[in-house]
A and B are shown apart, each in its own frame.
Chain A
Amino acid sequence: MEEKISGLAYVLGNNIDTDQIIPAEHLVYSLTDEEESRKYGQYALSGVPVPLAGLPEGGKQFVESDSYQSKYSIIIGGSNFGCGSSREHAPFALQKAGVKVIVAESYARIFYRNSVDGGFVVPFESTEKLNDKIKTDDEIEIDFKENEIKNLSSNQVYKLKPLGDVLPIIAAGGLFEYARKSGMLEN
């Protein structure tokens, strides 16, 4: 696991549900075919209503048209991030678009599990509301060792909650890797 990750922030509101992360009509593409699975990156967060896409101004496309990758690698969310369906396509789509870390006040259970067990993105919980303090396009650094998020654009540092029980799974890279490392599954 890296010690630090830096990138541009994309800021969202509360209750970002899985239909906003990846609309249901796109759930038909293969997740294993390298070429076809790029579509998940292309349509990541395409269900977010335009005025709420990239706060505070909104109207910021997460992935440029005709692209499969976002320039944003860190998502700042509010409460109940990833609510709704069980589709693992949601954290997968964010990973395909290039997201490394999400920082939100709280998560829906299945999205959180999927992010961790699938090893797609690291879901940090913030210790305070951050989507009114960090702006889309701010430069952000996440410090895994110190459990901190630093806004390089405003030079503010905020504490993150420790990853706790799921840290060994995240560090291993997902549930299967964890199970192999801990001897539950054969190598």
Chain B
Amino acid sequence: MGMTITEKILAKSARRVFLEPGENVWLNVDVLMTHDVCGPPTIGIWKNEFGEKAKIWDKNKLVVFPDHYIFTKNVHANRNVDVLRKFAKEYDLPNYYDVGSPRYKGVCHIALAEEGYNVPGTVLFGTDSHTCTSGAFGMFATGVGNTDAAFILGTGKIWEKVPESMKFTFHGKMPEYLTAKDLILQILGDITTDGATYRSMEFDGEAIFSLPMLERMTLTNMAIEAGGMNGIIQADKIAEEYVSERTDKNFEIFISDRDAKYFSKHEYDVNKIEPLVAKPHSPDNRDTVKNVEGTKLTKCYIGSCTGGKITDFINAAKILYGQTVKTSTFIVPASTETAKELEGETYKGLSLKQIFENAGCQIAQSSCAACLGGPDDTFGRAVDKDVVISTTNRNFPGRMGSKKSEVYLASPLTVAASAVNGFITDPRNFLM
């Protein structure tokens, strides 16, 4: 019987020839990633459980990115970064990217790709639910908590239940007004926030393979919003090229067998999908932008691992060029590389940074910032009864700060169009 990409990668990692969904297997982990929120408690558990014998299983396979609560006066948050810093020094970690140093990278999921840690056919665990982002590279990547991460840190192993797979195929050529964000919001509305719980979400079809890597990452990033264990896209030439430019590591590309078994298959024609939003307070509360057009906004936000990549800003710039925003608009490049690209990348002769500044947007340093609320002094944080439209991934009550705020999730095109008008606006009004 055939196997899916996910089953094949897990079989390799478990040193098995064949395995089936539902089996619990022990995996050998290729990379463990952690950050400033979950790193310190992970280190605490590891030290406590392994005691004096505590040993990192493989220093080269541990990657640590401070990224969540970085530019804040909050003493507890800063203490967490200090814990990482001391740990990195004590164990002479080769892959620690300290804030305040030239090595600082910004949001972990984007930095993993940029720094060559995303390698097809491998297994990556991270102490962050959006670790599934890396699945865009034809690899198995998923989030775990601190105890699991501490176990990996000491042993390089972890148990996992082999997931059933769901396949999502997007046919057709992507229209100019659609982005990967619209595609994943479409899926979320269809299968809801627990529609893929404990399952793998495999994305396929010509529309997917026409996307650059950073756009594909928006799809796999939000697999967790459907409860997915992982999101995965078969590595193709575009993926190979991206990876080869960033690492010398050898890699193996896995392809789902024709007779692989799927829990379900979902087919879409991208020309029938409209620009979408997720209304408050759930990522599956889908509606068309048209239906909510005119909703007054107090904040617009373009940032995060989901919507703060250079491809997102290129989309936003297409609409913000020559315009002035009517609502406070916050720009947070996910990574320091993205921040540099804002200056290097141009549209109609202006750098993206100039376009955003001319439009009256505020631009911050790279970090997770207000995507998850954070300390009171976090850039762009939702306060009181803010009504926000955002390129981020979650709009649960209080997710971006205030419990009373309302958050709409949308594509960078839709957020940019809405920023210009001060109310939710269909991007087609600007593009056509």
Residues of A whose CB lies within 8 Å of any CB of B are: 15, 17, 19-20, 23-25, 27-32, 47-49, 79-80, 83-89, 106-110, 113-114, 117-118, 165, 174-176, 179, 184-186
Contacts and interface: CB of A to CB of B under 8 A. Distances in A.
Interface string B172-207: 000000000000000000000110011000000000
B147 A25 contact: no
A24 B80 contact: no
Given A24-B374, A28-B69, A31-B44, A87 B229 contact: no
Interface in B98-148: 126-129, 131, 143-148
Given A23-B373, A29-B76, A176-B49, A86 B143 contact: yes
B25 to A, nearest CB: 11
A165 B24 contact: yes
Contacts of A24: 372-374, 399
A80 B227 contact: yes
Contact of B399 (A19, A79, A117): A19
Contact of A175 (B40, B147, B194, B375): B147
A67 to B, nearest CB: 20
Contacts of B129: 84-86, 110
Interface centre among A24, A118, A179 (most CB of B within 10 A): A24
Interface of B: 24, 37-38, 40-41, 44, 48-49, 53, 69, 74, 76-77, 79-80, 126-129, 131, 143-148, 150-151, 155, 161, 193-194, 197-198, 227, 229, 282, 372-376, 394, 396-399, 403
A185 B77 CA distance: 33
A109 B403 CA distance: 25
25 contacts: A15-B193, A17-B396, A23-B403, A25-B374, A27-B37, A30-B40, A32-B41, A47-B397, A47-B398, A48-B397, A80-B227, A85-B128, A85-B372, A86-B129, A86-B131, A86-B144, A86-B145, A87-B37, A88-B38, A88-B145, A88-B147, A108-B194, A114-B146, A175-B147, A175-B151
A97 B375 CA distance: 22
B194 A79 contact: yes
Contacts of A87: 37-38, 145
A27 B80 CA distance: 10
Contacts of B147: 88, 114, 117-118, 174-176
Given A32-B44, A47-B398, A108-B227, A15 B282 contact: yes
A117 B48 contact: no
Nearest to B50: A185
Contacts of A107: 197
B394 A28 contact: no
B145 A28 contact: no
Contact of B148 (A15, A31, A32, A117): A117
Given A28-B74, A88-B41, A114-B146, 19 more contacts: A15-B194, A15-B282, A19-B394, A24-B372, A24-B399, A25-B373, A25-B376, A28-B77, A31-B146, A32-B41, A49-B397, A86-B144, A88-B146, A109-B198, A114-B144, A117-B147, A165-B161, A175-B151, A176-B147
A109 B197 contact: yes
A151 to B, nearest CB: 25
A84 B197 contact: no
A39 to B, nearest CB: 10
A84 B396 contact: yes
Nearest to A108: B227
B377 to A, nearest CB: 11
A123 to B, nearest CB: 13
Given A49-B403, A174-B147, A80 B397 contact: no
